[in-house]
Chains A and B, each alone.
Chain A
Amino acid sequence: MKFLRQRLDNLRNLSQKNKLLAFLKPVINAADEIYFGTDKVTTLPHILDSMDIKRYMSLVIVALIPVALGAVYLWGLRVLAVIAVSYIFGGLVETIFAIARKKEIHEGFLVTGLLFPLILPPNVPLWMAALGVMFGVVFGKEVFGGTGRNIFNPAIVGRIFLSVAFPSAMTTSWLMPFNQGTGGFLKFSADAVSQATPLTAFRSERLIADFGNLFLGGSPGCIGETFRLGILIGGIFLIFAKISNWRLPLSALLSVVICAGIGNFFAPDKFAPALFQIFSGGLLLGAFFMLTDPVTGPFTRAGKWICGVLFGFLVVLIRGLSGYMEGVMFSLLLINVFSPLIDRLVLGVKYPKIKK
């Protein structure tokens, strides 16, 4: 620890103005801040909460660990390579922007870097993952001014870019997951057998997949969306830790149940049954980890309810009536677009004009 402290102090000296490493200042400061807490003291109030953004973001990562471990078991060690690629290239973009802006590196990217690989198909080429995360971070976040100012979830922007640019790679070839013994922990990648995801199977053959498989990850799908038990554990952990809000996931899931129920009642060949919709595709991952992103989502309470309901409605609508199998991605993007507007409307009602 002392050694590390000395190293960092050396580096910090070198990064002073007009020194050799001055351009790397944001990187060195970020490393320094990660290893050692702050030495700044408060003014008013005299005490501050022990929580900070680093902890906030790292707890989201903790909540994603069950999902990530499940993904490695289901799809093989290649998943780790995809995650590494996403972190390296996403981090690179974040660092370049921080250096160009002469600002600190923000922690928000830690979550994007892990969330993005989880919504890719398991056999995605590594270069594609790198391209997607870079596009997502640049056009989903940095062009708006970095963490806290982005209107879109960078992971979703990257994913949509990939699905539009490489539709065949992103939508047609799915792998069959490992489900025996040590699973993917000792293997590099699952066999390239083309499979239909449960949603596709429903669309083409009206097949309802087995719920046990859906729940534990025994069905094809994206890297992190199929181990739904892990998603529920992580999502509920975040809600209990007060890091994500319960209103959005709850209203979204209720809305899916109701909309799918109505759709299934009137047009059973178009709309899958409610419970099947909940446990298929990326709905749970989207509802618990992406919809709840505080920066891009609504912040008013009523806005959260409205956005959740709207999200569920859009998901069911796109799944049922559009050419796409899965609607979570587009619904999330639409919700990101609409949430400032919805917040504005809610604020208008909550804070009426002052009497004259």
Chain B
Amino acid sequence: MIWVIHTLNGIAFGMLLFLLAAGLSLIFGLLKILNLTHGSFYLLGGYIGLTVMRLTDSFVLALLAAAITIALLGAVIERFFLRRFHLDELPQTLLTFGFLFIFADLSLWIWGGDPLMLAQPRIFAGSLPLGDYVYPYYRLFLIAVGLVVAGALWWFQEHTRLGTMLRAGVDDAEIARALGVNVSLLFTLIFAVGAALAALGGVLAGPVLSVYPGADFEALILAFVVVIVGGLGSLRGALAGSLLVGILDDFGKAFFPEFALFTVFVPMAIILVARPTGLFGRG
């Protein structure tokens, strides 16, 4: 039974990682921007969700408010800042790095330095008994949400017109533009969607991990580990990478506790040596 718990745990953690990494990977795939502000989107999403949850006591509203606000913030950052340096990697990365610090200090100013925990949605309070052990319902809910989001993103990419445009843009933005795809709008849209995914991650992680200064950097590092394992720019890679990292991290911590500090990084190191483009990355 203990194996079931560890596996469930790894998958639940992996699903949180997926929400984080999917946005980062999506944005890189299309815009070729290594978006360091992604950590801020996660953090701000968590804080906004927390505030809305405290005001309205509704987890659904918290999710919506965080996703919409951060999507708008993402759109503004893409349109008015990043756009000026299209395909110019260094200024873009530095710009997103700068935003990361600005949002970190802003959050400290607004929400203070104490770690804050989101209340759980009441229907998922309590735990499922599994033999001698129990497993929290909320984590089962996380697994479900992760699967739904992964499914929705896959459907969007494969079966919608916008998804087709996205794939065209990823393959060759210039040709897509020549074929009449509004690449400019697509860029903003995808950046906003990626940001919103991170914000959702922030809210969903809130009742388990809490929100606190520094969570932005931690989330960013985890997202990077996942996309390095899975391959940058690939949704399938983000999903596979998240599950792999989540499960290995859990089993690593449980059975090789002396290596707990780098259980997350071991798969990354191995992948970098064996397959530098990641599991599903294109070379």
Partners in one complex: no
Residues of B near any A CB (own CB < 8 A): none
